Amino acid sequence: MINNVPDQPRCSRCVLPRYAESVRCNNDGVCQLCASELSPSNVTDEDSQTKLDSLDDRVSRIKADGKGKPWDCVVGVSGGRDSSYLLRELTRKHNLRCLAVYYRTPFTGQVAHENVLRMVERLNTDLEIMNLSAKFHQELARYMVILWAKKRQWMFANLACAQCKLLNGEIFRVARKHDVKWILYGSNAIESFQGATWRRSSASDSQGAADRHFSFLAQMRRMMAVVRKGTELLVLCPGLWRHWSVMFQASILYLTPNTPYIKLRYPGVNVLHYFYYAGWKEEECERTLKELGWQLPFGSGTTWRADCTFAAFKDYMLQETAGMTYMDSMLSNMIRAGMLTRDEAMKRLEDEQEVFPAKIRAALDVLDLPGSISLPNVPINRGEKRQPHMLRHRRPVAEL
């Protein structure tokens, strides 16, 4: 059995690795997010009613805007957990007429693909296939993984997923083509990576949390950070220039569904991040999906991001070069939101952390890179125990 979770010091309240690049801990070993009592916004008993009222208003507006049109809203589906659950909630709970849109990436396995087909059939939803090249997606991811292995920069992990960012633009194109005014997204505050955190406060703040996160200013700030990092990479790897167009589109134009560019280009199309209003409850989501016949893709220890074969490899890339994974971040957010105890999170890290050699091997096969790049700390062919984490030996960052 491979030790899946690096034995490294973590924040004493959540599970963020203490020496990860973006984590700062004080002398008590408490990270900056726990120390400042920041919490991702999520539904709690006392504020849920106000959020739901606000959600009802929005659903009414979506229905009013959809009158006389073939659909009320467009929803991107991937065969994964959250998009399947979103589609179910919109059709069954709110009676919205959805057009599901789908792009089969090179990393969408057969089980996830069949989940998409099963969901749209059971929920009686129309499906449109998006026009993006899976071949280019695979080539770009391969190129970025090779660069990452050479240069050891975590940003290449994000660039490997550039094609999925272009989906944001593609969904807007589909909505405009059919004159649909709303696009609904299944993201939630809990799964936002690290820096995106909100202060849990009054009931009316659910609106504020989403607005602040997706505000013009927040988008500009995020874009500037990406530009700075991108410039560093271009200096480091001049060969990257040949992909400048897709990098620019993925990191500036279509980084999120709320970029200034998208707002200007598609002024009549609105976005609603559904779970920021409805709240997101993991158990309810999993129970509902079971009833609908959703299947967990082969080899996944977790339902989260199980639709993407590359997700495990990306977590590995981030773990090795940024010192933390998406799973570290999500579980820590759940602890701060009061959804999980630290002990439960540690247990889940052991059970679900995605850096399993078998999954990494599967991603390398899709990338057409089996055995041709050297991966530290992954016993891909050797079957031996994982080495201690490289970042353990880094000096602690400046204390708060």
Chain residues that interact with Zn ion, rule: CB under 5 A: 11, 13-14, 16, 31, 34
Smaller CB distance to Zn ion: residue 11 or 391?
11
Smaller CB distance to Zn ion: residue 14 or 157?
14
Least CB distance to Zn ion at residue 209 (A):
19
Smaller CB distance to Zn ion: residue 13 or 314?
13
Cα angle at 285 between 279 and 291, to 5 degrees? 145
DSSP assignment of 142-180? HHHHHHHHHH--THHHHHTTHHHHHHHHHHHHHHHHTT-
DSSP assignment of 225-275? HHHHHHHHHHHH-GGGGGGHHHHHIIIIISSSTT-HHHHHH-TT-EEEEHH
Smaller CB distance to Zn ion: residue 33 or 74?
33
- The span from the CA of 164 to the CA of 244, in Å, is 16
Smaller CB distance to Zn ion: residue 31 or 62?
31
| CA dist 264 → 16, 52, 181, 185, 270 (Å) | 37, 30, 15, 19, 12
Least CB distance to Zn ion at residue 369 (A):
35
Least CB distance to Zn ion at residue 22 (A):
12
- The span from the CA of 240 to the CA of 237, in Å, is 6
Looking up tokens 């990270």 gives 31
Smaller CB distance to Zn ion: residue 16 or 87?
16
Least CB distance to Zn ion at residue 11 (A):
3
132: tokens are 């993006």
- The span from the CA of 125 to the CA of 50, in Å, is 30
Smaller CB distance to Zn ion: residue 34 or 175?
34
Least CB distance to Zn ion at residue 216 (A):
30
Least CB distance to Zn ion at residue 165 (A):
28
Least CB distance to Zn ion at residue 39 (A):
11
Least CB distance to Zn ion at residue 8 (A):
14
DSSP assignment of 97-146? -EEEEE---TTB-HHHHHHHHHHHHHTT-EEEE----HHHHHHHHHHHHH
State the burial class of residue 45 (Cβ atoms within 10 Å of its Cβ: 0-12, 13-18, 19+). exposed
Closest CA to 171 of 96, 71, 72, 266: 266
389: tokens are 């984490």
Smaller CB distance to Zn ion: residue 26 or 377?
26
Least CB distance to Zn ion at residue 12 (A):
7
Smaller CB distance to Zn ion: residue 40 or 230?
40
Closest CA to 354 of 383, 314, 381, 385: 314
Smaller CB distance to Zn ion: residue 13 or 273?
13
Smaller CB distance to Zn ion: residue 153 or 353?
353
Least CB distance to Zn ion at residue 280 (A):
21
Least CB distance to Zn ion at residue 335 (A):
8
Cα angle at 241 between 235 and 246, to 5 degrees? 125
SS3 302: coil
Amino acid at 169: G
Helix (DSSP H) and strand (DSSP E) numbers for the chain: 17, 5
- The span from the CA of 259 to the CA of 222, in Å, is 10
Percentages of the chain per state (helix, strand, coil), in multiples of 5? 50, 5, 40
